[in-house]
Amino acid sequence: MKRDSRVQELIRKAPNKGVATIGEERKMFLDAAFEEHFGAELAGDLPAINASYSKDGGHLNFNGVRYESEEELTAFHKGFGFSNEGMLSGIGGDITHITYTQESMVVEYALRATIEIDLPDAPKGRSVGVPMCVVYEFDEAGKLTSERVYADSAAVLPKRFLPI
């Protein structure tokens, strides 16, 4: 698996729980699989992002919308801004917490980025912070079988579109 020092540092600094119940070897496996995927996202490497998903049903579910095919995964990551071509640019942030289970990692983020599209009441160029929680499940080859993203998108959405 490809190693990424930026992701290693984020993992090292994050508070975590569950290591004692899964063992250090399993934690290292999950960290390496996560690092391969998240490192590709931070690098904006769309082919490497797609390669990090299992070809046997690997999928992304973002706030209830499911992306399964290579085309859908590419369109999502490009549209979101991981290749600096979409809705956001300069994607970064901090991992605020990690919980490990035998099958998965639950990673909480404080994502930071810049809006790159014009929306009513949400101008292009505005910096935003987006709290996120992602559940990652990997197969034994270290490929994603499921990535479930829950993002608090209120920072990105115009206020007048929010239900009150």
Which candidate, 31, 78, 109, places its Cα nearest to that of 67? 78
pLDDT level of residue 11 (50, 70, 90 thresholds): confident
pLDDT tens-digit series, residues 93-134: 899 999 998 889 999 999 999 989 887 667 789 888 899 999
Q: In this structure, what CATH number is given to the domain that contains residue 124?
A: 3.10.450.50
What is the edge-to-edge ordering of all strands in the sheet holding 59-62? Answer: 16-17, 88-100, 104-115, 127-138, 144-151, 59-62, 65-67
35 occurs within a structural domain:
yes
162 occurs within a structural domain:
no
163 occurs within a structural domain:
no
For Cα atoms 120, 126, 128, give the angle at the middle one, nearest 5 degrees.
105
**Encoding tokens for residue 85?**
């071509």
> Is 155 within 8 Å of 162 (Cβ atoms)?
no
164 occurs within a structural domain:
no
The pLDDT value recorded for residue 18 is 59
Phi-psi category of 129—alpha, beta or left, where left has phi over 0 and alpha has psi -120 to 50?
Answer: beta
134 occurs within a structural domain:
yes
- The reported pTM is 0.85
161 occurs within a structural domain:
no
Q: Is the pLDDT of residue 162 over 50?
A: no
Q: Is the pLDDT of residue 152 over 50?
A: yes
pLDDT tens-digit series, residues 27-78: 999 999 999 999 999 999 999 999 999 999 999 999 999 999 999 999 999 9
Domain count, the chain: 1
136 occurs within a structural domain:
yes
59 bridge partner residues = 146
**Domain containing 27: what range?**
5-155
